[in-house]
Structure 1
Amino acid sequence: MVLGGGAAGFFGAIACAEANPAARVLLVEKTGKLLSKVRVSGGGRCNVTHACFSAAQLVQHYPRGGKKLKEPFQQFGAQDTVHWFAQRGVALKTEADGRMFPTTDSSETIAQALLDAARQAGVHILLNTTAEQFIPLPEGGFQVQLTGVHAQTLTAQRLLVATGGVPKTEGYNWLRQLGHTIAEPVPSLFTFNVPESPLKELMGVSVPHARVVIAGEKLDYEGPLLITHWGVSGPAVLKLSAWGARRLHELSYTGTALVNWIPTYNEETLRQWLHTFRDENGKKVVLVNPLFGLPQRLWRALVEQAGIGADVRWSELPAKPQNRLIELLLRMPLAVRGKTTFKEEFVTCGGVVLSEVNMKTMESRLVPGLHFAGEVLDIDGITGGFNFQAAWTTGYLAGQAMSR
């Protein structure tokens, strides 16, 4: 029996049913919807995995769980995911940043492939049904009490828990009662709210390469940055939020984010560059001639905040406003006051600690026959298809082991 109709649950159910056609595989989903995260991922395109085909490289994209995933990824990695979908008629393409999507650019392609594979493998699906409790039996297996549309009591030889990440710690109490230790759940992959942002008018402006640092913390990340009406987003912020999920939670999502808009420069190299530029371009008006490939609107905002007048030429620029401009280019302070979930892709860090799980089979070391897959485990990746890859891998290994 599989609990959870998401990516990990489906992959586990299919893997089990395909490996052992004689097994009766039942998938139980508490809502009326299947694969809901798959459908909304990547803006409805579904970021299936990442073009990272070495297990040693792949594990570097997981703020939590990376080290323990090396062996599982050697068993079923990103290349295996590509092959799995290709075998079922779904071709994937790689974008410039390494993210992989179906060539149709539709998440429905992925959802349908999983639904078809489950149906062909003979997986039975119960919707609007909840496993209220399950009791390990002395002779092995579990007695499972189902409530909802398909209320009944069943016996299951093996059980796969693929119920996803739970935002509130109480959601894991049933696993604690079985003796499992839970790493406290906190949000990951979120954007920063900056209510007093000096950049509010620049909503939609993006910079392909910026560096975001949390002042006073060992937290920083480089990547594309997007200015939003509520603050800042984009891969640089999302990935920083993933690596710093626990610390940012401790800080109550408040602090100062320092943005370096031109991270290839430091104070010394920037001053040298500007000195040469001024000598050669003294007649140019500062405000209307953006430098470093920065968007016009962003450059104007930085120049205005530095207190540089609309008609000031580089040759006339006093030292004080130039220093202020340098400071804004390298360390623009944004007062972070809270977070916003990125689109609908809610990710939690936390869950069942991995030391209590056999990572070859995803079986509990405490309760024989109980397996885990996906976000219920203390595993989470940065944005870019890594969370789905962890779901496919852990689901596949659990399903294979259950079939035996």
Structure 2
Amino acid sequence: MTDPGRPRLIVLATTYPRWHGDHEPGFVHELARRLTGRFDVVAVVPHAKGAKRREILDGVSVVRYRYGADRWETLVQDGGITTHLRRSPWKWLLVPGFFLMQWLTARRFADDRTVVHAHWIVLPGIVARLLRRPYLVTSHGADLFALRGRWPVRLKRWVMARASATTVVSRSMLPLATALGGRAVPIVAPMGVDLATRFTPDAAAAREPDHLLFVGRLVEKKGIDILIDALPAIRASRPSVRLSIVGHGPLLPSLQARVVQRGLSSAVTFVGPVPSASLPAWYRRASLFVSPFRPADSGDQEGLGLVLVEALGCGCPVVTTDVPAVGDVADDMAGVTRVAAGQADALAQAVLARLEAGPSMGPLATRDLLLERFDWDRVASRYAGLLDGVGSAPP
């Protein structure tokens, strides 16, 4: 039920859960549902095969617009829009309809009490500006790092020029966002993790010796190929080491072939996608979480790395790389080892050293820092305050 006395929040995004328990990243929905106490929230997001066209999901009115037949609506799932466009250039043909239908759908809900939150500068940011309502635009990384050509930059400047507020999810993104100009000074406001009830330590859970874990989309910037390349050296010193790869994405066939080529079939398990509710059990069983982020050839790179927060929240030590965004999670955190990105030898050495040190996380202060920076309730409170300010700004 909508309340005519409350402001309406239109959430625009390209990535959104298709149903309860979906393995697609759920951070946009997790924020949206925590804002339903202050706004009537309408999420305008792309449809996908098997999803409902319209439903109430955790108090959020989710409206999924069609942009093609079922078999063509594949622009955003299992890899993200920039990955799909790079790997399958024909999908550019889907973009005009994708954009047009988001705009036509969103404008049905825009009225004088509406504020807009656009997740990603391109394409939702363009739609937000065309709605002519006050809007907040949030960049999650790919729209800043990968879309660097002349026309994408012009479009991003056009969006930022009228944004009432702008956020980026890590400090490393600030220079790129600031360089685009605009009337709002970009600020850092990360997405969150449910550290209060879901991603928590469990003293009764037994960690499995020499069990490495990777969680994430199987795309280039996650660096899973580097971890596979490091595994033979790791197993030369510790033959019992095994790796579980949780996730799905367009690189799955090539990564499976890589495992076979290196004679690692008995040591690597491709688990596939796992719902968020099931992830804590994986983090609590693993000896070590390994997330070898690296820049992709397109220039895209990790915007924040919330999987690190999930692992640390469950008390699992982490080995990751020195891509800039990782600092927002790793700075001052015990239990985190960072190595140079893209270097399998350095990764192997760090994994072996961490396994030798044992599963202890170190000082309990790490959890307090995690809660302060990334707990969803605190994150949602910050965004609610920003959106309140947007609502009082001129369109």
> With structure 2 as the length reference, what TM-score do the two structures score?
0.29
- Bigger Rg, structure 1 or 2: 1
Q: Comparing both structures, which one devotes a greater share of its residues to strand? A: 1
**Does 1 or 2 have the higher relative contact order (CA < 8 Å, sep 6+)?**
1
